[in-house]
Structure 1
Amino acid sequence: MQTLKYGLRWTVLILPVAIIIGSVVALFLWLLSWAIHFRFSHTWLLFLLPLAGIAIHFIYQSVGKSSEKGNNLIMDEINKPGGGIPPQMAPIILLTTVITHLFGGSAGREGTAVQIGGSIAGMFGKWFKLNEADMHLVLTAGVAAGFGAVFGTPLTGAIFALEVLSIGRIKYDAILPALIAAIVGDVTVSAWGVHHTAYHIDVLAKTSYMLSAYLPFNWVLLAKVVLASVAFGLASWLFSLMVNEIKATFIALFTHKWLIPLTGGLLIIGLTYIIGKPDYLSLGVDAQYPGAVTIPSSFHAGGADTWSWLWKTLYTTLTLGSGFKGGEVTPLFYIGATLGNTLSGLLDAPVSLFAALGFIAVFAGATNTPLACTFMGIELFGGEHALLFAVACFTAYLFSGHTGIYSSQRIAIPKLFDANLQDETTLADLNKQRGYLHQKLAKYKFRFKK
């Protein structure tokens, strides 16, 4: 009876929260698609990217307040409640993400969906006058609803919300609210007629390697997957390192902070003209022109350039590090899929399979959520290659080290048992201990005379 009462209570609490989150995410996805395709037909908008960055900066300075901490603020509130989540976080992040993509910034959408979910869930928690323990659960459910809704992966959304808070620990106390919220959020997006991109792994040919008749898997292919997954983990490490270092370097160099998005926007424009094509701008899902490198194109031979993954890494870390808004996950999908495409040629492996493995594994390494990403592979690509999904995600997780895109993520259990880390150290604390370039550049600030 007590279990039934608990389940009924949280179902009643979560249903309205998840429906509203799913509806706002559906609106966001529609606006995002409009902004991206509008820029496709008005390519001159890229030249206004620096001004768009300055506008985003002043929006957060004037009304954003603590909202600028984004996903990290939500994680802090779940781990250790403080000042709460401002209700303006949802509309501000929605607006500024659309602005970023409208003018060509290379960003994602997961961060926006998670902040929408956390902000709306926090608002409902205050209306319901929830205590601290229940607020923790409803915020976790909000994260699950936002993530599950934006990608069409409800099971992944639920597990991600439980796994992302701490490295090496999953908090099962919110498992029911998170699952309900993720499912309802995803169904709500579908009900609004918003659909997600479908991906497909080609059927693999049967092999005749030695012992293949006695093993439930292709051991040669498995060895190639492990080797590629090491590269996926290192790509995660590089991305996390660069986005944090670029942001810190800009802060160290510029006294007037509005110069940061101005500089970032100009660098992105310059890179685009040096490369000679706009493939690495914006989300990277839809093609601006026939033959463009996109996530879907990476699932086919010749669908990515050798260094597409590195260019996208540079574009996205510059965009996010200079203050533009959005998320990191879809660019991580792009980086992983294009790197998988490149590695498939080097390792003589199936292109679509390795693109799919990179898609989920680079994300797993950068967010330190290997279990959620394994389930994402199953939800997006089917369960036939579940073993390879797990191998790729857990290998990348290990080789990404103690880095990640969420600085408020806590290290509950170190990846290496001999790691000299205190309990509950955050990635932000760890970054402060490292002697990076921005610390050496702090004395060379660019100043203007008053």
Structure 2
Amino acid sequence: MWMSGYSTLFRSLIFPIMERYQRTEIRKHLAWLKKTQWLSHSEIEALQNKKLRALVRHAYRNVPYYHRLFKTLGLTPDDIRRKEDLSKLPVLKKEDIRKNPDQFLARNVPGSRVMETQSSGSTGEPLKYYMDKTSYSIGWAHTFRCWSWAGYSLGDPYVKISMSARTTLRKKIQDILMNCHYIHFSDVSVETLPGILEVMKKGKIIRGFASSMYLISRMIEESGVEDIPKPAAVMTTGDTLFPHYREAIESVFDCKVFDGYGGESTPIAFECEEHFGYHLCEESVVVEFLRDGEEASPGELGGIVFTNLDNFAMPFIRYKINDVGVKGEEECPCGRGLSLMSSVEGRNTDIVVTPDGRYIVAQFFANLFKYIESVQQFQVIQDRIDRLEVRIVANEKFSESDERYIYSKLREQVGENVDLVIRLVKTIPPAKSGKRRFVISNVSPF
């Protein structure tokens, strides 16, 4: 179905020329990562600790913020020799970087090697930050390694569905060379669906936000279209892949979904072909799952904190990404030595906290509304711990019995000490980033 001639030409000639022009080394790092994934866990841990020591020495010598932090705490780089020693340092927050971004820039990294970028800002103001070409290259190498788990090889055609339009000639040329067929999600509608599906048929894999792929899947189901693309895999990223998202996407496209997770240009975890959890990208990142300042136990929900081991231009050491996940406790049947994360539960603002100390993750609400046909969209807002507002976009089937059912199920979860309000609204707009959020809580769970 997918031609291999261009793939061979791309790997042997086109991509090497692109890398020389862009001054990247993705191929080199990809080859390395394909070997390191089969190392034992102890060998990978030794590699992590070696890279961590180099990063800490660099940050202490060349990054004003970290030099001052170590001096204030009475620490030297020799005090951080293993990833367990990271607990001696405070957690880094977005606000810390926003206050003094220049204090986080390394003084010894040439400007020609530094790239400016920013986070999506899905929960507020985007964070501007910097990365070096090495970190950029390794990040893409991790992504391509994950795609290889789904059967993709460099140069194979793929489809990218994104919230951002391709506006520059440089990006359009890059898409052509990378064999990427680009779809702007804003162009997807019932009217344009036939043409969109024709484009999607061109890709060996399809990549997009989990929510975008789910909405397209639902659109295909409701349209009754029979000539549906059959990719080797769908690669999701960007927002939480809920079980009903996965179920719908896999059913419509008749293939497996491979979910990936990262933040601030840091690859954190990807699913392999066994779908036994998410392999942590431990060659490039140290991931902590914190609960009340301590490492959460396997199987326990914790706030995700990461240390990027490759970005020397602007080191992120113990960075709180404001997401929550569950640390894995088993080994994947695939045999890779990379540790597992059992699940990503979304942002910490996606968790409702009750006055009696219970946590309700977004998945509960997704499951609740999954089979209520009269509800088209919903959103849960928690402004304070004792109040919960549920906004619902309903259709003509919605009845008082539906509202009573929803209220009773919610009441069972939140208890009697919460002011529970159900509001019918006409629309629920997505965030500026294009991501749709089921739950927005302003009450910190940890």
TM-score by length of 1: 0.27
Greater radius of gyration (CA): 2
TM-score by length of 2: 0.27
